[in-house]
Chain A
Amino acid sequence: MKSWYYPIASIISIILIWQLGVWISSAPSYILPAPLDVVVSFIDNWQLILEHTIVTLTEVLLGLFFGVLLGFITALYLESSKTAVLFLRPILIFSQAIPVFALAPLLTLWLGYGILSKVVMAILIIYFPVTSSFYDGLTKTPSSFLDLAKTMGSSKRRTLYVIKIPAATPNLFSGIRLAAVYAPIGATIGEWVGSSQGLGYLMLLANGRVKIDLMFAALLTLGFISIGLYGFISFILRKLTLRS
């Protein structure tokens, strides 16, 4: 119960430090707006922010869905054969060696200014964590479980469905939690590089017009999306794992 106090206290501290920074630096509000300015801007522009939030949220959710799906399938494929590991691992590692951000301009060039390039960006950024955490889980089934399955005359396929996948779900879930945090980052980067809608676009636009309070409002909205998404997904995953 008391654990509730701490997050609230830490949020209040941040706002206080922020306000203190405004007072001490006495920076004009087009450089560093005060917390209250941001709240006012939020209220004044709520329709505009909502409009762009819907776009970003759509990109994030689509990216999350397809990224997790692709990661899930890839991990199963990797588990299924040694050749798959030898063939795919270099590609996976190389894809992580390139900063994904650097691909954003290319994606815009290839896929256009629309929603698709942002969804792909989000997929790219979450694909690896999901794949690697789930694959890790699949390869770490306790050997005693596999021995038992063998004495029971289980086939490879049934061992996978009945034992390996359920045993690896905690790993898959931690991958999905990470993905929930990364997906908004991917979508925003995509929007920065080239778009005409979304919170990333709104931030750039507000920045260009020296509406820093609006920029902060958009930035905070993005933060809320990430936290909300993470909380929601954690909640669902906890419900699913409660029994074990």
Chain B
Amino acid sequence: MSAIIPSLYIDGSAVFDGNTLFSVKGMAINSSQWTCLLGPSGSGKSTLLRLIAGLDTHVEFNGSLKASDNLQVHNRVAYMAQSDLLFPWLRADENIKVGSKLRGEKIDNDELEIIIQNVGLIDHCKKYPSELSGGQRQRVALARTLMENKPIILLDEPFSALDAKTRLEMQDLVAEHLQEKTILLVTHDPNEATRLCNNIYLLNDSEIYLTKSLPPPFPKNINDEDVFLLQTKLLEEIRGS
């Protein structure tokens, strides 16, 4: 069963202790596209992600968060974070299928096998997280996200803890496998934003606004001149010069 992939629309503001953490007007996270929210650390990017995922935040959100099909958002979200969030007492393959276990569902073993193959973990799926490298662990996290098969994917700086080479490999791998979904990538890395995302939103001075839309294909090459120029522009915009 392939569910319809909805777009998300967000309007409103998040208030913490009487102060506006951020306000957002007409933000569209389109289906089958990558949308990026770029901003410095501690600016509240992850809070927006948590609001979409229906997780506890310490802010009060006044506004609307809607899916294009008007159905609930929270239960159609898969979440990938900076730390891989693997359970150290479960093997890689057990971590990948942990969602089914948590919901008490039957596990689709064929699907599991295909995903393990696709993310290149065949030789490592019986290992415990402590026996895996950072890149391999993030692959397990990706496989777990794919296994969830949710239409909306929230990525909270999933590549930022990886070394440069592994980061590029993972960006390509994730981009390849998450094409037909509604993706929101939160990052502080302008290069990542320009390589991967159709629409780049900036969180600057407590305001979230669309700053750039890019034509496909994705991911863009690292030696693409446009990527380099745009990345510089974004950096300047973040600095406020």
What residues of chain A have their CB less than 8 Å away from a CB belonging to chain B?
Answer: 144-145, 147-155, 158-159, 162-163, 166-167, 169, 243-244
Write the chain B residue with the least CB distance to A144.
B85
Q: Give A167 to B98 CA distance when docked, in angstroms.
A: 14
Contact: A151 with B53, CB < 8 Å?
Answer: yes
Contact: A158 with B104, CB < 8 Å?
Answer: yes
Q: Does B130 contact A (CB under 8 A)?
A: yes
Contact of B101 among A148, A162, A243 (CB under 8 A): A162
Contact: A153 with B83, CB < 8 Å?
Answer: no
Contact: A162 with B89, CB < 8 Å?
Answer: no
Contact: A153 with B89, CB < 8 Å?
Answer: no
Interface size class of chain B, counting residues whose CB lies under 8 Å from the partner chain: 20 to 34
Residues 65 to 116 of chain B near chain A (Cβ within 8 Å): 74-75, 77-79, 81, 83, 85, 87-90, 98-99, 101-104
**Which residues on A sit within 8 Å (CB–CB) of B88?**
244
A-B contact pairs, 20 of them (CB 8 A): A144-B85, A145-B85, A145-B87, A147-B53, A148-B85, A150-B53, A151-B79, A152-B99, A152-B102, A153-B75, A154-B103, A155-B102, A155-B103, A155-B104, A158-B104, A166-B87, A169-B89, A244-B88, A244-B129, A244-B130
Write the chain B residue with the least CB distance to A142.
B85
Contact: B98 with A152, CB < 8 Å?
Answer: yes
Q: Give A152 to B55 CA distance when docked, in angstroms.
A: 11
Write the chain A residue with the least CB distance to B88.
A244
Contact of B77 among A144, A151, A243 (CB under 8 A): A151
Q: Does B207 contact A (CB under 8 A)?
A: no
Contact of A166 among B81, B89, B148 (CB under 8 A): B89
Q: Does B228 contact A (CB under 8 A)?
A: no
Tally of A-B residue pairs with Cβ under 8 A? 60
Contact: B53 with A144, CB < 8 Å?
Answer: no
Q: How far is the CB of B95 from chain A (nearest CB, A)?
A: 10
Contact of A244 among B50, B75, B128, B148 (CB under 8 A): B128
Write the chain A residue with the least CB distance to B130.
A244
Task: List 13 additional contacts besides A147-B79, A151-B53, A152-B99; criterion CB under 8 Å.
Answer: A144-B81, A144-B85, A145-B87, A151-B54, A152-B148, A153-B102, A155-B104, A158-B104, A166-B87, A166-B89, A169-B89, A243-B89, A244-B88
Contact: B87 with A151, CB < 8 Å?
Answer: no
Write the chain A residue with the least CB distance to B128.
A243
**Which residues on A sit within 8 Å (CB–CB) of B75?**
153
**Which residues on A sit within 8 Å (CB–CB) of B90?**
166
Q: Give A154 to B101 CA distance when docked, in angstroms.
A: 9
**Which residues on A sit within 8 Å (CB–CB) of B50?**
147
Contact: B85 with A158, CB < 8 Å?
Answer: no
Q: Give A144 to B77 CA distance when docked, in angstroms.
A: 16
Write the chain B residue with the least CB distance to A154.
B102
**Which residues on B sit within 8 Å (CB–CB) of A167?**
87, 89
Q: How far is the CB of B93 from chain A (nearest CB, A)?
A: 14
Q: How far is the CB of A55 from chain B (nearest CB, A)?
A: 38
Write the chain A residue with the least CB distance to B105.
A153
Q: How far is the CB of A216 from chain B (nearest CB, A)?
A: 45
Q: Give A166 to B87 CA distance when docked, in angstroms.
A: 9
Contact: A151 with B128, CB < 8 Å?
Answer: no
Write the chain A residue with the least CB distance to B100.
A152
